[in-house]
């Protein structure tokens, strides 16, 4: 900071201004010194002016100055002092007005600064409170960060464990997948083999069915023929039985007649021959009936063939 000015400095600057034919003013002196308040410079300038008359009187009292020159110089000096005083008063009034304006401005600035200081204090107080809140929140955040760091470390350990477990499961899955693929291929091959065998069996069954159907039709034709022959044979048997009955009756009649008639050997012989013929015909018819009963057995074979065909059809539909 610049130091305070002295009276000697103000006097020297004012003398230099007068020597340069300039009127010493507060602004010029402050400009030359580069410091000093207007009040201080104005007071010291008044002191310099008061001492100026004394110094002029000493100059006028010198023995080597003529009286006329001294009077003229004194008159000039008086006029100069009067003019200087008027100028000084005008300058003082201007300086006072400027000082008053400066004081008013300073007052306004002071009020503004006071308001600004109050606001700054309020802001500082708010900032302090905010700092305390921020410090509290910072401590909470630090604790939270520490907790999260611990949780993160734990999660990383869990992640490593889970990754290891995932690797193990992936390896087990690959192994299981290989086994399943092998089993599936084997099962597919088995299914294809079973299907091939089933198709072969179906084809063979179809051929057997065709053969059985042809055999069935042939047997049906034979059965129809045998049935016709059986009906004819039954009719013949019935006729033979009826004839045998008649022959038996006739034989009994002949026996009775032979018992009564001993003289009829030729008729007896003829009756015996007729009886023997009827007996042979009955035996022949009985043999035919036995053969016909044997021929009726293919019906059971045909039924078995139909059942087997139904089973094959069910397999084919599945």
Q: Is residue 223 part of a domain?
A: yes
Whether the per-residue pLDDT at 279 is higher than 70: the answer is yes
Place of tokens 């003529």: 66
Whether the per-residue pLDDT at 310 is higher than 60: the answer is yes
Cα radius of gyration (the chain):
82
Q: Is residue 241 part of a domain?
A: yes
Give percent of the chain above pLDDT 90.
6
260: pLDDT confidence band, cut at 50, 70 and 90? low
9: pLDDT confidence band, cut at 50, 70 and 90? very high
Q: Is residue 274 part of a domain?
A: yes
Q: Is residue 217 part of a domain?
A: yes
The CA distance from 91 to 314, in Å, is: 139
Q: Which domain holds residue 284?
A: 202-317
For 194-213, write each residue's pLDDT tens digit. Answer: 888 878 877 887 887 788 77
The CA distance from 194 to 179, in Å, is: 22
Provide CB contacts within 8 A for 178, sequence distance 6+. none
Place of tokens 């049906």: 220
For 51-91, write each residue's pLDDT tens digit. Answer: 887 777 665 555 555 666 656 666 766 676 677 667 767 76
Q: Is residue 283 part of a domain?
A: yes
The CA distance from 78 to 94, in Å, is: 24
Q: Are 48 and 18 in contact (CB under 8 A)?
A: no
193: pLDDT confidence band, cut at 50, 70 and 90? confident
Q: Is residue 213 part of a domain?
A: yes
Average pLDDT score over residue span 226-240: 73
Number of domains the chain is built from = 1
Average pLDDT score over residue span 83-102: 73
Give percent of the chain above pLDDT 70.
73
Whether the per-residue pLDDT at 221 is higher than 80: the answer is yes
Q: Is residue 259 part of a domain?
A: yes
Q: Is residue 226 part of a domain?
A: yes
pLDDT of residue 305: 56
For 119-145, write each residue's pLDDT tens digit. Answer: 878 888 887 888 888 889 888 888 888
Place of tokens 């939270």: 144
């Amino acid at each position: 900071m610049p130091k305070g000015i002295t009276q000697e400095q103000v006097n020297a600057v004012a003398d230099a201004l007068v020597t340069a034919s300039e009127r010493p003013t507060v602004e010029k002196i402050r400009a030359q010194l580069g410091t000093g308040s207007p009040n201080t410079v104005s007071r010291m300038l008044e002191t310099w002016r008061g001492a100026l008359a004394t110094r002029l009187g000493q100059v006028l009292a010198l023995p080597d100055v003529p009286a006329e020159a001294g009077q003229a110089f004194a008159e000039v000096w008086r006029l100069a002092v009067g003019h200087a005083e008027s100028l000084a008063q005008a300058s003082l009034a201007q300086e006072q007005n400027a000082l008053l304006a400066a004081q008013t401005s300073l007052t306004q600035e002071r009020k503004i600064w006071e308001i600004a200081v109050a606001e700054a204090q309020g802001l500082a107080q708010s900032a302090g409170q905010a700092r305390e809140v921020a410090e509290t929140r910072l401590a909470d955040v630090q604790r939270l960060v520490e907790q999260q760091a611990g949780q993160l470390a734990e999660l990383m350990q869990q992640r490593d464990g889970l990754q290891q477990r995932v690797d193990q499961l992936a390896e087990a899955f690959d192994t299981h997948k290989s086994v399943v693929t092998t089993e599936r291929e084997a099962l597919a091959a088995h299914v294809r083999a079973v299907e091939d065998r089933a198709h072969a069996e179906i084809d063979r069954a179809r051929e057997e069915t065709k053969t059985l159907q042809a055999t069935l039709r042939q047997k049906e034709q034979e059965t129809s023929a045998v049935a016709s022959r059986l009906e004819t044979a039954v009719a013949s048997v019935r006729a033979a039985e009826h004839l045998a009955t008649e022959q038996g009756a006739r034989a009994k009649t002949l026996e009775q007649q032979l018992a009564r008639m001993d003289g009829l050997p030729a008729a007896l012989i003829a009756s015996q021959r007729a009886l023997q013929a009827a007996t042979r015909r009955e035996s022949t018819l009985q043999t035919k009936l036995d053969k016909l009963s044997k021929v009726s057995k293919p019906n059971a074979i045909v039924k078995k063939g139909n059942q087997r065909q139904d089973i094959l059809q069910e397999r084919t539909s599945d």
